[in-house]
A and B are shown apart, each in its own frame.
Chain A
Amino acid sequence: MILPRFDVLVPNSVDEAFAMLSRYAEKGIRILAGGTDLLVDLRRPIIPAAIPSCEGCARHKSGSIRSTVDCGWWESDSSRESDRALLTKVQDSIHKYPEYIISLHKLKELRGIAVNEKVNLRVGAMTTITDIERSGIIREKWTALAEGADSLGSPLVRNRGTIGGNIANARPAADTFIPSVALGGVLDIHSEKGSRKVPVDSFASAPGETVMEKGEMITGIEYPAPPEFSGSAYYKLANRKALEICNVGVAVWIALEKPGGPVTDIRVALGAVGPTPILAESVKEVLVGKKPEDANIKKAAKAAREDATPIDDHRGSAWYRSMMVELVTDRMIRLAVERVGGKV
């Protein structure tokens, strides 16, 4: 197959999962939720240069990392500086192409949508994107998250893909990550040793990199109850109407004193315009305490643009993305305000 070799572990309980994660942490173990990111990531590219290549490897110049790992030459022969650098690469790839895959599909307790007594929303890590899309309560009160789910992939992908996977994968354009930042989501991260809570907005550090340690796993995500007169919206700007990675994604959550009244709080999350989804902090400074009026919203949208750090890549140019951040932020603030019952 085009996939590397690995063994699959299927825990029957969350505790068993934690134990497996810690036991195999050093050998390389990766979590399988829906697999819609993981399997794509594991797939062996035809042109090997796309993975850290073992140029400099004494035994063979071309070849997959897995075969480099399997041949084991580096264990005996890693004294030189250049070989040590290569060893790090190989070790990284052990993590990328692990010996074990642990599938969470039997852990029913990780799947589900619940609203607790404090009216906070809790979504289990294994909840599918389709589950979220179909949830009436999410659409009503955490609208931006429902809109993120709507815009993700296609029905097939949404049926398999999970929110835990979307967030753990830590891509700057992840369609439930971006609204989760705006909605103030907090992740429950567990391991054999215990648990901790990490706000979504400080979870990712670089594309694909997060604050998660070896042996840890996300069990769920909690969103604070929306206060009265608050609302949210998400828009994904892309070239086609489905199966898209956004060019720019903007989620806005806004709270007003009363419909049309001054802004008490706002969180704007920007996607695909930085290494991770970004919380546009300066918007808060511009808009809190002010009325959601045309001129103020325009200023806020400009501030969001300042916070964005888009780059040129094969999906689009920095100048266009920068311009669109301002535009889409402007539109989403207005939409969120309208949803609270205001008019701009």
Chain B
Amino acid sequence: MSKNNSYKILNTRLPRVDAIDKVTGKAIYTDDMSFPGMLYGAILHSPLAHARILNIDTSRAERLPGVKAVVTYKEAGTQPYGVSPARYDETIFCHDKVRYIGDEIAAVAAVDKDTALEAVSFIKVDFEELPVLLDGRHAMDEGQPQLHDMYKNNICARVNWNFGDIEKGRKESHIIRTDHITSKMQDAAFMEPQSVVAEVDSHGNLTMWSSTQAPHYIQRTLAMALNMPLHKVRVIKPAVGGGFGPKASCSTVELATCLLALKTGKPVKTTLDREQVFLHSRARHQFFHTMTTGVKKDGTLSFLEHHCILDGGAYASFGIATVYYAGSLLGGPYRLKNMKYDGYRVVTNKPACGAQRGHGAVIARAAFEVQLDRIAEELGMDPIELRLKNVMEAGETTCNELFVSSFGMKEALEAVRDSAAWKKKRSLAGKTRGTGKGIGAACGFFVSGAGYPIYRSKTYHCTVVTKVDEVGGGVTVSSGAADIGQGSDTVLAMITAEELGLPLDDVRVVSGDSNLSVDLGAYSSRTTLMTGHACKDAARDIKRQILEVIGGKLNIPPEKLDLKDGRVVGIDKDIDFSALREEYLQEHKGFMDLPEGPQLTFREASRIAFLEIGSVVGTGSYRPPKLGGSFKGATVGTSPAFGCSAQVAEVSVDLETGEVTVDNITGAHDCGFAINRTQVEGQMQGSMMMGMGEALMEQIIYNDKGRIMNANLAEYKIPTSLDVPHLDAIIVESNEPHGPYGAKEVGEGAIMPVIPSILNAIYDATGVRIDELPVTPERIIEALKKKRENK
């Protein structure tokens, strides 16, 4: 599909503003940075999953030549911090206990990395080993090891929701099914390991460059945990090689590196090894879902009763939001009047889990969409028909009070159905089921930016300041937004260029710096909608100021002027700009590249505006209106808009070996309006690959001591380019009233239908359901074997 509107820049396929720098290796990532006199940091991790710390002896490490500082909790203090203020359960370093293999105990700064690592190995820690808790399913049982005093029975957070009337729904049901799905902890497998450089200037200002998704939150946490005034802490995000969630919370490596810089007065750099990325984790939880769903004879959903245990590892991180999301986002995209949810997020002696693309909702979605498929089969109904029967439309509100202002769910389902020739292929299902070829469908639903910040506040979620070059010509957009590879800088540049009628090359975006503006960061698929609004307002502010000056000078009302193709134009008649041109030319004697033609260029107009009123600066701020219900936890899941998606997957399965080949994925996503069509497709394709990995390959494997057995990218499997099937990404545009130009999310919503559509296709191909993720060849063969034995 191509664009069908009058925009010059928006809705096109312009190349990303950072593309050339990235492909030529020019882009600067944190680990590329270096300062004179810079020291290198290294971290001591716990070798035990659960133990009391009896003594830490750093003397030998301190004596090693080249070591400049060794820090433990004694230097760092024991100020608790975390992601959600209600669950501050971490300290910079462990002081009383270690709670997982990898828990951070100390850090060293030395003249080189070698020395720092050597010194870390010289720190002597005496432990008293404690019993280890690894199985999340049994974490709440009597007699289990207890991880934290503040979490009785290891329950870190619980949700008990009851919307509508479950009993009524049960009575109305023709079919009621209960199914389970469990998944494994996962890693986000971003390309760039976390890296941090910290420096303190002679005025006591701390600057930290970090591979982060959320400079603002990190700034807050640093200030709080290091006991510094917020304005003395600056966080800058250089180019980032992917985040997917784990980089949205403040990490020990960030805190420790800052502490080392404060202690030594020198710049310090610490870059994690891949093994440490796995140890730090903060990625996808392990989920144990049980769902009971009822439907009427005609397929109308009557209720959902949902129970979930989330194994979150040793600390809370984003986990409270996760346990809420796991329940709340099943409120859509189907009309569901009665929904009960009991969620328990428990702690175990494993690396802490946090947010990961599709936060909390991905496995829940997989479980529900697989169950819908099973229900369709029992009803003898086409699974897409069943879904079409139940999908919500724009203007509806879910039972948990999420209002969907635009909703192309039906369009998306129909698009994948038709594009993948579903009817033709599926009509054979009766005959082909279990023959090794399969096709499956699923839908998804996701927020377009969290309705509330992670800390309780009235804060604007983002602001943008755009300034016109005082010499005339271009503009600079300043924002705290974090481009982590998803392309938000390009979105901001395109919006500004569109509003000001400029070519993309004349818009410079500086971003990802907490000194520039407040921006909550790259998470919950919020930037295009939220920072997009602020950016649009800032650009319009500038445009108004420039046109007021020009109009004033020429005695024309500014509404009769516009900025187009790099020029000021009259809206309904040609205008004589020669007096202004003369003023500009007077200033530029000796220049050769001078403006010509009948219209005034933006270069002239912006210079003349500056000469008249001084700095021309436009600002924009955005925060969502009050959203959601008033029940406990009602804020999680709210959003100014919701994205939705549908997908059809086709697979081939070798029924003797269990090997799965995904042949085709056809996905459609309603992003409201595509600011950049290629970027929207890129997010969809990336989601398809990532979801495919989660469905088929990805799992962190622990041994019985709590040690990760596959803490590297050779043995933690994600799809390679050879595994990627033909991907078809269809953009649906529903024109979201609360989004800039109608735009809303695609970054996370697009992953929602991926896992279940593949699982449903595998069922179609094999005739067996596998309720444990990932669906490895071995699990398929096991299920087929069981089925044969039961016959």
Contacts and interface: CB of A to CB of B under 8 A. Distances in A.
A317 B267 CA distance: 49
A49 interface: yes
Contacts of B777: 237, 239, 247, 320
B122 interface: yes
A240 B717 contact: yes
B701 A47 contact: no
A239 B717 CA distance: 8
A60 B659 contact: no
A316 B710 CA distance: 13
B45 A62 contact: no
Contacts of B781: 320, 323
Contacts of A47: 45, 47, 101-102, 275, 279, 707
Nearest to B779: A320
Contacts of B776: 239
Interface in B772-788: 776-778, 781-782
Contacts of B124: 60-62
A316 B782 CA distance: 12
Interface in B148-164: none
A245 B47 contact: no
Nearest to A64: B121
A328 interface: yes
A314 B701 contact: yes
A44 B117 contact: yes
Given A240-B697, A320-B782, A62 B47 contact: yes
Interface string A60-82: 11111001000000000000000
Contacts of A154: 720
Nearest to A63: B121
Given A44-B117, A314-B701, A241 B45 contact: no
Nearest to A70: B118
Contact of A45 (B123, B275, B715): B275
B723 interface: yes
A335 interface: no
Nearest to B113: A1
Nearest to A40: B714
A2 interface: yes
Given A62-B125, A67-B121, A242-B722, A46 B656 contact: no
Interface in B691-729: 696-697, 701, 703, 707, 709-710, 714-715, 717, 719-723
B583 interface: no
A324 interface: yes
Nearest to A315: B715
B114 A49 contact: no
A324 B273 contact: no
A49 B45 CA distance: 11
Given A2-B273, A243-B720, A46 B118 contact: no
A156 B50 CA distance: 40
Given A47-B275, A48-B121, A49-B47, A241 B723 contact: yes
Give the size range of A's interface with the partner: 20 to 34
B121 A46 contact: no
B359 to A, nearest CB: 26
Interface in A185-236: none
B699 to A, nearest CB: 9
B4 interface: no
Contacts of A46: 45, 102, 273, 275-276, 279
Given A60-B122, A62-B124, A62-B125, A320 B275 contact: no
A64 B118 contact: yes
B720 A63 contact: no
Interface string A1-22: 1100100000000000000000
A155 to B, nearest CB: 10
Interface string A238-275: 01111111010000000000000000000000000000
A244 B656 CA distance: 20
A62 B722 contact: no
Interface in B100-147: 101-102, 113-114, 117-118, 121-126
A318 to B, nearest CB: 11
Best-buried of A61, A62, A316, A327 by chain B (most CB within 10 Å): A62
Given A239-B777, A240-B719, A327 B117 contact: no
B60 interface: yes
B5 interface: no
Contact of A314 (B113, B710, B719, B721): B710
B723 A317 contact: no
A63 B125 CA distance: 11
A237 B657 contact: yes
B659 A49 contact: no
A317 B101 CA distance: 25
Contact of B778 (A48, A67, A317): A317
A328 B657 contact: yes
A245 B102 CA distance: 26
B657 A240 contact: no
A134 to B, nearest CB: 18
A240 B657 CA distance: 13
Contacts of B659: 237
A324 B126 CA distance: 47
Contacts of B123: 62
Best-buried of A244, A320, A323, A328 by chain B (most CB within 10 Å): A320
Contacts of A44: 117
Nearest to A316: B778
B280 to A, nearest CB: 10
A185 to B, nearest CB: 26
A240 B782 contact: no
A72 B240 CA distance: 43
Interface in A111-163: 154
Closest 10 CB pairs of A and B: A241-B722, A63-B121, A314-B709, A320-B778, A242-B720, A314-B701, A46-B275, A242-B722, A64-B121, A241-B723
14 contacts: A5-B114, A46-B279, A47-B45, A62-B124, A239-B777, A240-B697, A240-B720, A240-B723, A243-B714, A316-B778, A317-B778, A320-B778, A327-B656, A328-B657
